[in-house]
Amino acid sequence: MSTETAHSVGLLEHLVRPRTRSRRIFEWVVLAAWLVAVGLQVFHHVMFRDEVRALTLALSGDSIWAMLRTIHGEGHPAVWYLLLRVAHLVFGSVAVLPALALLFATAAVALLLFRSPFPLILTVLIIAGDAFVYEYSVMARNYGISALLLFVIAANFQAWRTRGYLIGGLLFILANTNVIAAIMTGAFLLFWFLDLLEERVMRSVPSLTNFFVNAVIATAGLIVCGITILPTFNDAAVADLSMNSPVELALGALFNPASTTPGALFLGVPTPIGSLILFGAILGLLARPAAFIAAFVSLLAFSLFSNLASAGSERHALVWFCFCLSLYWISWDRIADCFSGKLALRSNAIIRFGCGLLVIMACLQVSLGFNKAALAIGGSRVESRSADLARLIRSRPELAKATIIAEPEYLAEALPYYIDNPIYLTREHKFGTYVRFTKKGKLATDLGETLKTGQDLRAQTGSPVVILMQHKLKRIVPDQIYREGYNWTFRASRQQIDDFLSSTTLLAEFGPANYFETYDVYLLDGDRKQTVWR
C-alpha cells in the first residue's frame, strides 16, 4: 500500500468512523456540557424587544384566527407565533418563550451528535459555534427551529427521497419559520430535482411524480408564507433603493456576498476574504453536484435579498450556514468516497479544499460563540435593561400601575415579559405593546411632545407616569436632530430640556446594553428626589 493510499484510508476512518461505545459516551458528555453552558446563559439572559415582540403578537386576539390577522404584514411567517400561542395556552407562562427556543436547539444539537455522519471533531465545532451556543439557544427567536427542520430533513432525505410526502411536509413548515428559510426551501427543491435527474435510475415516472407532489406541498408553504408576510406594515425595514443603484447593489451581492448579510458569519474578516470563504466552503459539495448548485444558488439569492430587500445579522446568516450543513450531511458518503479514492473525480482536490474551508468557517463560528457565551455568563453582555426596570418598578408599590412612555417607543417592547404596566406610544397616540415601523406614520417628535404627552396622561388617568429616555439629556446637543430606529427622528431644544428636567425626577441611569436597549428613567412630577440607580 502506497503512503498516499494509506493516508487516504486513515483519513477515511476519521470521516466515517462507526459509532463505538466510547464515542457514544463522549457524545453524551458533549451534550451535557453544552446544556450546562447554554443553561447558564439562559438563566442570566434578559429578553430584548425582538424576542418579546413575537410573544406579544402571538398572544394577541381572542382566537388563533384573530392572532393570524394581527401578524399579517409583520414580516415573519406564522409557525413561531403558533407555537408560542399553543405553548402559552398549555402552560400559561411567558417562560414558554425561552423554553421553546432551548427545546428546539437541544433537539438540533442531539440530532447532530447522534445522527449526523460528520466526524466528531467537526460536530463539536458546529455545536460550539455561534448558532447553538448563543443565537439559536439563548436568543428566543424564530430561527433555531429552521436549523432543527433542516437537520431533520437531512437525516430522513435518503429514506424518503423517492417515496412519501414527509420531506414535502417538512419543507412546508420550514418555509413558514422565517423568510430566509423560505429562500432555502426553494433551494432545497432545486437540489432535490437535480439530484434525481443526476441518477438515471431515478428518472422514472414514479420518482419524478413523487417529487412533484412534494414540490407542490412545499410551494404551497411558500405561498402561505408570502400571504402572511405581504404586504408588510413594517415598510420602514425594507431596503430603501432610492439612494443607491439597484444594479450596483445586485452586482455587489453576486460578486462579494460577504459585503451583505452572509458576511456576518465572520465579523472582523475583510469582505473579499470572507467572500472567498463563502464560495470556497461549498466546494466540498462538488462530490454531489446537485448539492453544490443548490448551495451556490442559495448563497447568491440570499445575498441579493439582503442587498435589495432587507439586511440581516448573524442569526439570518446562520440559517444559510445550517442549510449548507444539511447538504453536507446528505452528501457525506460521497465526500468520504472522494477522500478515500473510492470515488475518483477530477475535482477531488477541490472537494478536500472545500471541506477544509468548511472547517475554517466552523472554527470562526466557535470564536464568535465563545465570545458571546463568556460575556453573557460573566454578566458583561446584557441585551436589554428591561429586567432592571421591572425590578425598579416592583420595588416601589406606588408605580405598580404607572403608565410607561419610552423615547423611542420601541424601547418598551420588552417590558410585557416582566411587568404588565400600560405602555403609551407617543407617535401612534395610543396605548400598545408593540410599534409599527412604517414610512406612513408620524416619524418626528421632540422632548416637548414627550413631556406634554406624559402630563396629559397623568391628568387623564391619575396614575404616575414613568418616562424612559434613551438620550442623555445632560449631554444632548440642543436642537440637533437624532436618528432613531429605521426612519424616526428626535430633537430637544434647550428650553424643552430645562422644562423636562424641572418637571421630572430621575429615578435610574442604567448601564449599556448590547442592542442599545438602555435608558434613563424619569418619574413625572415626583414629590422629591430619590436615590438614583446606577
pLDDT in tens, 134-161: 999 999 999 999 999 999 999 999 999 9
Q: 383 near 514, Cβ under 8 Å? A: yes
The mean pLDDT value for 332-341 works out to: 89
pLDDT for residue 527 is more than 80: no
Q: Of 319, 347, 378, which one is at a domain's C-terminal end?
A: 378
- Asked whether residue 531 is domain-assigned, the answer is no
pLDDT confidence of residue 500 = 97
* Percent of the chain as helix, strand, coil, to the nearest 5: 65, 5, 30
- The verdict on 317 and 391 lying in the same domain is no
Taking alpha carbons only, the member of 353, 195, 187, 180 closest to residue 279 is: 353
Q: 317 near 262, Cβ under 8 Å? A: yes
The bridge status of strand 488-491 relative to strand 465-469 is unpaired
- The verdict on 431 and 287 lying in the same domain is no
Q: 389 near 510, Cβ under 8 Å? A: yes
Our CA angle for 9, 13, 17, nearest 5°, is 160
The mean pLDDT value for 196-213 works out to: 84
- The verdict on 506 and 367 lying in the same domain is no
431/428 Cα distance (integer angstroms): 8
Phi then psi for 396, rounded to 5 degrees?
-125, 100
Report how many domains make up the chain: 2
263/275 Cα distance (integer angstroms): 7
In tens, the pLDDT along 164-183 reads 999 999 999 999 999 999 99
- The verdict on 361 and 463 lying in the same domain is no
Q: Of 330, 360, 378, which one is at a domain's C-terminal end?
A: 378
Taking alpha carbons only, the member of 97, 117, 109 closest to residue 147 is: 109
- The verdict on 439 and 348 lying in the same domain is no
Distances, alpha carbon 150 to alpha carbons 155, 157, 185, in Å = 9, 10, 9
pLDDT confidence of residue 94 = 98
pTM of the model: 0.93
pLDDT confidence of residue 12 = 43
- Asked whether residue 534 is domain-assigned, the answer is no
In tens, the pLDDT along 422-459 reads 999 999 999 999 999 988 889 999 999 999 999 999 99
Residue type (1 letter), 121: I
pLDDT for residue 202 is more than 70: no
- The verdict on 391 and 366 lying in the same domain is no
- Asked whether residue 210 is domain-assigned, the answer is yes
Residues above pLDDT 90, as percent of the chain: 83
- The verdict on 38 and 131 lying in the same domain is yes
- The verdict on 114 and 246 lying in the same domain is yes
The mean pLDDT value for 11-36 works out to: 78
334/357 Cα distance (integer angstroms): 18
Cell 434613551, located at residue: 470
362/328 Cα distance (integer angstroms): 13
The mean pLDDT value for 80-93 works out to: 98
- Asked whether residue 190 is domain-assigned, the answer is yes
Phi then psi for 62, rounded to 5 degrees?
-85, -10
- Asked whether residue 530 is domain-assigned, the answer is no
- Domain region containing 458: 386-524
Mean pLDDT across the chain = 92
Residues above pLDDT 70, as percent of the chain: 94
pLDDT for residue 262 is more than 80: yes
- The verdict on 295 and 441 lying in the same domain is no
**289-308 vs 179-198: helix crossing angle, rounded to 10:** 160
The mean pLDDT value for 468-496 works out to: 96
339 or 194, which is more confident?
A: 194
